[in-house]
Amino acid sequence: MIRRLLIALLCCLPGWAGAQINTDRVMAIARNALFYEDYVLSIQYFNQVISAKPYLYEPYFYRGIAKINLEDFQGAEADCTKAIDRNPFIPGCYQVRGYARIRMENVDGAIEDYTQALKFDPENTALWNNLALCRMEKKDYEGAKEDINRLISLAPRESNAYLMRADVAIRQKDTLHAEQDIDKAIEVDAYNSTVWTARGVLRLQQGKYKDAEEDLSKAIHLAVRNADNYINRALARYHQNNLRGAMSDYDLALETDPNNFIGHYNRGLLRAYVGDDNRAIEDFNFVIEQNPDDMMATFNRGLLLDKTGDLRGAIRDYSTVIAEYPNFMTGYHYRAAARRKIGDHRGAEEDELVLLDNQLDLYNGKKQNANDTKEKTRKKSDKNMENYGKIVVADSDDDTPRYKNEYRGRVQDKNVHIEYRPMFVLTYYEKAGNVRRTIHYYKYIDELNHDSLFVKPLLITNDETSLTEQQADEHFKWIDEHTVESAPDEKTMAKLHFLRGLDFYLLQDFENAINDYTAAVVTDDTFMPAYFDRAIARYKHLEYRKAETADDKANIMKALPTTTSATIQVRNADYELVKADLDKVIKLAPDFAYAYYNRANLFAMLGDYHAAIADYNKVIELDPGFADAYYNRGLTYVYIGNNKQGIADLSKAGELGLFSAYNVIKRFTLRKN
């Protein structure tokens, strides 16, 4: 109850009176939270608006988007349905509900939604993309082709559209048109790894193994962490009798995806081929541990145990397979030999008798030889035990390759593109579980953390994380605790304003956060943290406002209806306040590298690359191990045409633990070539 009242107080207009909350204000904060991927918090705000004005469609719609990103697809569908009931003319509502229905395997319902949405927004490429994929799911290939043709007419530079049309052609057994579309996709976007993967897979299917290897190598160059590309290239190399190269690819695939079944099984076979028996056993042990019913892996392990002298272990595996496949004569043959070696002559004779009976049945025409094709590979689902020694390939609905196309509907997802590492902020939380765990330290911040007012330690991070529901509740409560009329001295009062400002910031209420940070520096104009975090709050607030009207911004706003509020123009001059705050931090703390770093990011965003490089230089001068500064400076050098220096900086960033830099280097290297 206290928390509800507090939200109402925070969101009221000047001159507010009564229990009515300012829903426009709460909606703005909620959309801030949604934009910055704080889904749990945004739902809490949308709940407040729905409680006050249940007849509005927007809070249901936006809450549905938040639930989509939390993978509550049933809840998202229900919210979008309520939004449509209140306003049936908003295409975004149908789009989001369609995606939720896809994730719940209601493809027919999704088709209805996308068809309806296109009546209101016929040039929405995401809608045509999803509608085509739904038709493909229903095997309506002609309908899918029509939708894709419309998509291509709207977005002729969309490489994935050509891949989708190639997929339709492949399903219709039309490899000629499929190859033409894939070639067109490569022509449109040669820096998209998926297009090279698609052609490599097609060439594998066509038996053009050398060409397939070349295409898959290009795909790997662009997407080094894709295990499937290594698996496919290993297959191409295997067909060219390059066993060592194939094994190397399986090694790389398993570094990326340690639980990959095909990687372990095929590597086990190849290790056995080259005599690396003990490590081959390790691979088959892994496969059997993951799937104890895999009889082919069990039999292969038995052969290897037999070869390495563990005859009883081999007999155990042979017996397991024979119990499952009593007509598998090869199993009896090897078990008989193993039994003889350990002196079990009676058991061996029993197996040999089964073999003799089988030979007589074959001779008399009562049985036929087991079906063993001359193919060098088998499907994963193949249960013919005679194929135990064949390399495994992934299953598909038929003998045609499939290309991965994704539904567009998780509208909060950002486009995969090269971008600067984000700005740093003083906060309480950061993402856990990252490979690179650098502890960012500054003496004055450490001193503040020993102040009794700071019950949570401040962190210097550019890896912020969303609040949990419990943390959000905690900060709503802290706002009340940090609201005081007076303090023993001005410095204490400034800290309290700062702490409340940080509470507002974490709750995505940037306007109130800015107000409190301002109150802090008015009270104590030497309190550097307030200037630093005010710069971030101002920057984020401007970025959110800019995104509301940016047509090409790859974020939630692209799929949403325009707001009823007046269009807000954000100009470069509006960022002067952000720069002024960072200038003040640098004046107060000239050795605080994070202020130079943030100002460099601001300069880069505004297109002043030479000023950005100067600030990144200062950061590296203060801290030679600052990986993010090397990374961003590297990108900046590339943007001004100095690829050599840019790649050197990106290499240094990778050396310092920012491993994503290596993928960027590969992309720039390919572009140069």
3-class secondary structure, 207: coil
Maximum C-alpha span of the chain: 106
Distance from the Cα of residue 46 to its chain's centroid: 26
pLDDT at 422 (0 to 100): 93
| 516 close to 497: Cβ distance less than 8 angstroms | yes
Instruction: Output the CA torsion 357→358→361→363 (10° steps).
Output: -110
pLDDT at 294 (0 to 100): 92
pLDDT at 670 (0 to 100): 53
pLDDT at 20 (0 to 100): 56
Burial class (CB in 10 A: 0-12, 13-18, 19+), 124: buried
- Least confident residue range of 39-43, 157-161, 490-494, 558-562: 558-562
| 505 close to 484: Cβ distance less than 8 angstroms | no
Rounded to two decimals, what is the model's pTM? 0.69
Q: 472 forms bridges with which residues in the sheet?
A: none
- CB-hemisphere CA count at 13 Å for 263? 20
User: pLDDT confidence of 667, banded at 50, 70, 90?
Assistant: low
Is residue 118 scored above 60 in pLDDT?
A: yes
Dist. CA 43–CA 419, nearest whole Å: 29
| 287 close to 263: Cβ distance less than 8 angstroms | no
Average pLDDT over residues 380-386: 83
pLDDT at 359 (0 to 100): 86
Query: Any residues with CB less than 8 A from the CB of 25 and at least 6 apart, and which?
Result: 11, 12, 13
Average pLDDT over residues 662-666: 74
Q: What whole-number percentage of the chain has pLDDT above 90?
A: 62
The strand pair at 459-461 and 425-427 is best described as antiparallel
Question: What does pLDDT average to over the chain?
Answer: 85
Radius of gyration of the chain (CA): 31
**Element spanning 392, H or E:** strand 391-393
Dist. CA 462–CA 172, nearest whole Å: 49
| 43 close to 33: Cβ distance less than 8 angstroms | no
Per-residue pLDDT tens for 496-538?
Answer: 999 999 999 999 999 999 999 999 999 999 999 999 999 999 9
Dist. CA 33–CA 562, nearest whole Å: 18
User: pLDDT confidence of 270, banded at 50, 70, 90?
Assistant: very high
The domains located in the chain, with CATH, are: 427-672 (1.25.40.10)
Dist. CA 616–CA 622, nearest whole Å: 10
Average pLDDT over residues 585-604: 96
Is residue 445 scored above 80 in pLDDT?
A: yes
Is residue 569 scored above 70 in pLDDT?
A: no
Dist. CA 650–CA 210, nearest whole Å: 32
Average pLDDT over residues 333-359: 92
Distance from the Cα of residue 634 to its chain's centroid: 24
Is residue 5 scored above 90 in pLDDT?
A: no
Provide the 10 A C-beta neighbour count for residue 207: 9
Per-residue pLDDT tens for 198-251?
Answer: 999 999 989 999 999 999 999 999 887 889 999 999 999 999 999 999 999 999
How does DSSP assign 396-441, residue by residue? -SSSS----------TTPPP----PPPPPEEES---S--S------
Per-residue pLDDT tens for 165-194?
Answer: 999 999 999 999 999 999 999 999 998 899
